[in-house]
Amino acid sequence: MTTVLSLFGVIPNKFGSQEAYARELSLQLQERGWRSVLCFEALPPETVARQFELANVCLEVLDKPEELRWEAAKRFAAMVRRHQPDIVHLHYVGFIGFYPILARLLSAKAVYFTDHSSRPAGHVLRRAPLWKRAAARIVNAPLSGVVCVSHYGFRCMTVLGLLPPDRFHVVYNGVAAIAGTGEAERGRRFRDRYGIPEGRAIVTQASWIIPEKGIGDLIQACALVLRENPQVHLVLVGDGPARDDHARLASRLGIEDHVTWTGLVGNPFEEGVFAAADVVCQVSRWEEIFGFTIAEAMVSGKPVVATRVGGIPELIEDGETGFLVARGDTAQIADRILKLLASTDLRRRLGEAGRRVAHAKFDLKKNVAQLLQLYGVS
């Protein structure tokens, strides 16, 4: 049976967008009579593993695949020999590495790499030095193609000159379309679970809790919002190394009673993260390569306030599907949140427009089908 091996340098501890992609890929391969080998950094917990209980799926583990280690090379080579994949696709591992060469030497007819990397704030696009271009073209000669998840990512990669331009392809990340039924009940359960007082409007950001995600800016913006509208509650979904620092900031600003930290959430759709939200934010400071949370909020029909960085303007059209603001501009963030909270009609209009765009551009089934066309799978 023809096989695709997908190597993910992530730990699948929740059923998030990347896990949903792996499942949809496997489903579409199954329809075509192909096997899907999904390799993660660790085995998923039972609740996530159940999503991969398909007849054509085999789960594998490769610890810390992003590190160029001899042990990782040996285990990857053994995995390739065991499954004999026709196609290998690399996610969340370094662009320069031994995986493409090993895969081609052992069985793979094609090897792909997806660039998921956001760039530092103010990243300048420039051509790589000659020696780096030459080395990359030698090491990555076995790569059949590089998938860029936004046109911003495409520009970042092609300007470097590390591979011929025709090997780069834009396939947007996708999110699963959700049914509209049961949203009110999911939202109510979410409020009850986290003790959010009735009557408070909910402003949500779901992300890794790191400074690059602009959470400190959002907390300061919400302090400004609360001066105008005390019936607002900030919900921060996720976890990360900067959580304690951000919690102390909320305390210093005197708004800790209006902030809820949920920690990691297994499935944001099912658990009501977006159903409960009135406004969703993604106020990143770095150059976000895509913005999964934005696409998830859009498909949920929620208006978004996001920063004009990286690939985010490819998702949000300012004033039509949400609002774009300047990086780090807390006053502007607060102004746009207040404007949305003041008008149910505005929230509905932007949310519905965002949902239409999400279905057209970021539908998971359509975008996985586009990837299979790139593979040459009929």
pLDDT in tens, 8-46: 999 999 888 899 999 999 999 999 999 999 999 999 999
Q: Is 350 helix (H, G, I), strand (E, B) or coil?
A: helix
pLDDT tens digits for range 340-363: 999 999 999 999 999 999 999 999
Amino acid code (one letter) for 124: V
Assigned token pair, 50: 């159940």
The confidence score (pLDDT) of residue 116 equals 96
Give the count of domains, the chain. 2
Residues 324 and 342 in one domain: yes
The band of 160, judged by pLDDT with boundaries at 50, 70 and 90, is very high
CB atoms within 10 A of CB 94: 15
3-state SS, residue 140? coil
Q: Which residues of 308-336 are buried (b: 16+ CB within 10 A; e: fewer)?
A: ebbbbbbbbeeeebbbbbebbbbebbbbb
Which residue in 313, 192, 92, 108 sits closest to 100, CA to CA?
108
Instruction: State how far the Cα of 267 lies from the Cα of 264, in Å rounded to an integer.
Output: 9
Q: Tell me: the pLDDT tens digits for 193-228?
A: 999 999 999 999 999 999 999 999 999 999 999 999
pLDDT at 181 over 60: no
Instruction: Say how far apart CA 20 and CA 65 lie, in whole Å.
Output: 21
3-state secondary structure of 54: coil
Are 15 and 92 part of one and the same domain?
yes
- Could you tell me which residue, 5 or 17, shows the higher pLDDT? 5
User: What percentage of the chain carries pLDDT values higher than 90?
Assistant: 92
The phi and psi torsions of 119 (rounded to 5 degrees) equal -105, 160
247 and 148, same domain (yes or no): no
Residues 358, 362, 364, 367, Cα dihedral to 10°: 140
Residue 352 in tokens? 């519905």
Average pLDDT over residues 81-93: 97
Both 190 and 328 in a single domain? Answer: yes
CA gap 264, 75 in Å, rounded: 30
Question: If we measure between CA atoms, which residue out of 236, 276, 273, 274 comes closest to residue 255?
Answer: 236
Percent with pLDDT over 70 in the chain? 99
Shared-domain flag, residues 61 and 130: yes
Verify that 127 and 232 share a domain, yes or no: no
Do residue 303 and residue 354 come from a single domain?
Answer: yes
- Predicted pLDDT of residue 18: 92
Q: Give me the amino acid identity at 35.
A: R
Three-state DSSP state, 37: strand
* 266: confidence class by pLDDT, cuts 50, 70, 90: confident
Contact assessment for residue 321 and residue 354, using Cβ atoms and an 8 Å cutoff: yes
Q: What is the per-residue pLDDT across 215-261, written as a single tens digit (0 to 9) for each?
A: 999 999 999 999 999 999 999 999 999 999 999 999 999 999 999 99
Is residue 1 pLDDT above 80, yes or no? no
Angstrom distance (rounded) from CA 219 to CA 247: 9
| Residue 137 and residue 57 share a domain | yes
Alpha-carbon distance 344 to 358, whole Å?
21
218 and 355 both lie in a single domain: yes
Structure token digits, residue 278: 């009135």
Mean pLDDT of 98-102: 95
Residues 299 and 151 in one domain: no
Residue 18, token pair as written in the block: 């990347």
CATH at residue 370: 3.40.50.2000
Residue 112, CB-side half-sphere exposure with 13 Å CA sphere: 24
Residue 11 to residue 79: CA distance in whole angstroms: 18
Whole-structure pTM value: 0.94
* Averaged pLDDT for residues 169-193: 87
Q: Does 117 score more than 80 pLDDT?
A: yes
Q: What is the pLDDT of residues 311-325, one digit of tens each?
A: 999 999 999 999 999
For residue range 123-135, list pLDDT tens digits in order: 999 999 999 999 9
Task: Give the full edge-to-edge strand order of the sheet including 322-325.
Answer: 259-263, 232-237, 201-206, 279-282, 304-307, 322-325
Q: Where are the alpha helices (DSSP H) in 51-172?
A: 70-83, 99-106, 130-139, 151-160
Domain shared by 157 and 33, yes or no: yes
Are 166 and 220 contained in the same domain? no
Q: What confidence category does residue 179 fall into, taking pLDDT thresholds of 50, 70 and 90?
A: low
Side by side, the strands of the sheet bearing 110-115 are 57-61, 35-40, 3-8, 87-91, 110-115, 145-148, 168-170
Distance CA 288, CA 212 (A): 9
Domain range for residue 205? 183-361
Type of residue found at 219: I
